[in-house]
Amino acid sequence: MAKDKTIFTCTECGGTSPRWLGKCPACGAWNTLIEQVAEAGPGKNRLSAPQGYAGLAHAQPVMPLAAIEAQDVARTPSSIDELDRVLGGGIVEGGVVLIGGDPGIGKSTLLLQAMDALQRAGLPTLYVTGEESGAQVALRSRRLGIEGSQVKLLAEIQLEKILATVEATQPAVVVIDSIQTTYSDQLTSAPGSVAQVRECAAHLTRMAKGTGIAVILVGHVTKEGALAGPRVLEHMVDTVLYFEGDTHSQFRLVRAIKNRFGAVNEIGVFAMTEKGLKGVSNPSAIFLSQHSEPVPGSCVMVTLEGTRPMLVEIQALVDSGGPSPRRLSVGLDKDRLAMLLAVLHRHAGVACMDQDVFVNAVGGVRISEPAADLAVMLSITSSLRGKPLPKGFIAFGEVGLAGEVRPAPRGQERLKEAAKLGFSVAVVPKANAPKKPIEGLTIHAVERVEEAMNVVRGL
C-alpha cells in the first residue's frame, strides 16, 4: 500500500514541520512534535475562502432542536452486573469505551468474560488480541471455565487488517486488546507512540460511529501516564473506565471517569478469583483491615462513590524524620495532605513539622472526595500521640483552610451504612447530624477541627 504523506504537528501550538524535530520551530517547545497523516489534496485545511464557500461545499440542512426526535440509547447488558453498573446499564450501540489500568490488573480477563456473556446472549463479538497469541487467550478461557466459547478471536496488530476483518465479519462488539500494540501502516512511528495510538483510536472511533458497532479499547497506563497514550484518548471516546486497586490484593475497582451514557464516578467492585473476576455486590466492608484491637494511626471513614457508601480505613504513620521530612500518601491527594497538616498545626495546635507523615487508604482504593479530610487528620493525630481511636469509631467531613468542618453529601446514608456494619461512635460535620437518632450509633456533631480533636480526646 502506498504510504500517505505524514507531517509532524506540535501538540502545544499546532505548528507543523515536514520532519521530526526536538524543538518546535513555531513555539520553541521541546518534544512536542508528533506524527500525523497529512490531509491529501489542496485546500482541505483552508480556513478562509475569499470568494465564499458555495464553490467548496454544499450547504447542509439545519433543523430546530424541537423537531429532532430524542432517542434513548439502546443498551445491551453484559450480564456482569458490576460492569453494567459502571457502563451505565450496558454496551451501547456505536459506543466507544476505553478501559485503562496497570498491566496485570485484569483488563483482558474482565473483557473476555464480558464478551463471552454477550456472545451467549446472542450478540456477535470479536476479540482482537495483539498482546497474546490465540493459544494464550484460549488457555485463559479454559481457566475462566468458559470452554465452548463462541467468541471470535483475531490475533492481529495492524489496524487496516483489523478494520477489514470487522467489515467482513460484522460483529456487534469489538474488543481491541490493546490499543498500544495496534499500529497503522500510514505512519512511520512505532506502535505505542502517541501518534499511532491516536491515529488508530480515531479510525476505530469513526468506524464505530459509522457502523453502530460498539468498540472497547484496552489501554495501559504506565507510571508516567502520558507517554503510554490512553490519556490522549480520553476526549475521543464516550466512556472511560479505569481499573484501580492493588494487584497484590484480591479486590479490583473499576471506576467510570467519563461517561456520555451514564453517571461518572460510579464504581464496580470485583474480586480476582481462581476463575476470573467475580462481582462483589455488597462491597461496603472490604476496605477495612481487621484489627482485633484498635491500633494507633487508623481511622475508618465512610466514602460515597457513585451510588453506594463504602467504609474505608485510613492509616497514618507519623515518625521522626530527617532534615527534610517526607509527606507521602497512597490513594489520597498529596497536596491535600500538605494542606491538612497545615490546618492541623494552625487550628488544632498539632505540629508535625519535623516528622515524616505517611498516609494510606487501605486496599489500594483511591479516594478523591474531600470528605476524607477529617479521618486523615484524626489518624495522623492518633499516630503522633500513639493513642488508638476507640473501637467502632468512624469519622468523615471536609476540612477548610479556616479550620471549619464542612458537610459531606448524603451524610445520613453514610451514617446508616456505618451503623449497619456495627460501628458505634461517629464524629461528623454538624450539618450531617441526623435529626432522629440512629440506633446503635453515638453521633458527635462538630463545626471545627479543634472541636473534633477535643471530642476524640474525651472518648
80 is in an annotated binding site: no
- Indicate the DSSP class of residue 211: H
Q: Give the list of residues 6+ apart from residue 309 with CB closer than 8 angstroms, or none.
A: 284, 302, 303, 410, 413, 414, 417
Q: Which does 144 bind (CB under 5 to 8 A by kind): ligand TYD, Mg ion, none?
A: ligand TYD
**How many CB atoms lie under 10 A from the CB of residue 134?**
12
Using CA atoms of 135, 136, 139, 140 in order, give the dihedral in degrees to the nearest 10.
-140
Q: Tell whether 107 is in a known binding site.
A: yes
Give the C-alpha distances (Å, rounded to integers) separating 23 from 16, 87, 325, 389, 399. Answer: 11, 41, 38, 56, 44
Which lies closer to ligand TYD via its Cβ, residue 181 or residue 382? 181
Strand order in the sheet with 16-17: 16-17, 6-10, 33-37
Cell numbers standing for residue 397: 467531613
Q: Is 103 annotated as a binding residue?
A: yes
- The answer to whether the beta carbons of residues 393 and 423 sit under 8 Å apart is yes
275 contact choice in Mg ion, ligand TYD, none (CB below 5 to 8 Å, kind-dependent): ligand TYD
Q: Backbone phi, then psi, for 197, in 5-degree steps?
A: -60, -45
DSSP result, 52-67:
-STTTSPPPP---GGG
**Nearest to Mg ion by Cβ — which residue?**
108
* Number of residues binding to Mg ion, judged by CB under 5 A: 1
- Residue with smaller CB distance to ligand TYD, 105 or 174: 105
Q: Which stretch binds ligand TYD (CB under 6 A): 138-146, 208-216, 367-375, 396-404?
A: 138-146
Q: Going residue by residue from 36 to 65, which x/- string records binding to ligand TYD, judged by CB under 6 A?
A: ------------------------------
Q: Is position 219 annotated in a ligand binding site?
A: no
Q: Which C-beta is closer to Mg ion: that of 9 or that of 108?
A: 108
Q: Is 101 annotated as a binding residue?
A: yes
Residue 108 lies near Mg ion (rule: CB under 5 A): yes
- Contact flag: residue 143 with ligand TYD (CB under 6 A): yes
- Per CB under 6 A, contacts with ligand TYD among 258-287 are 272, 274-276
Tell which residue, 86, 10, 399, has the closest CA to residue 266: 86
Binding residues among 89-128 for ligand TYD as defined by CB under 6 A = 101, 103-109
Residues that bind ligand TYD (CB under 6 A): 101, 103-109, 140, 143-144, 272, 274-276
Interface positions with Mg ion (CB under 5 A) = 108
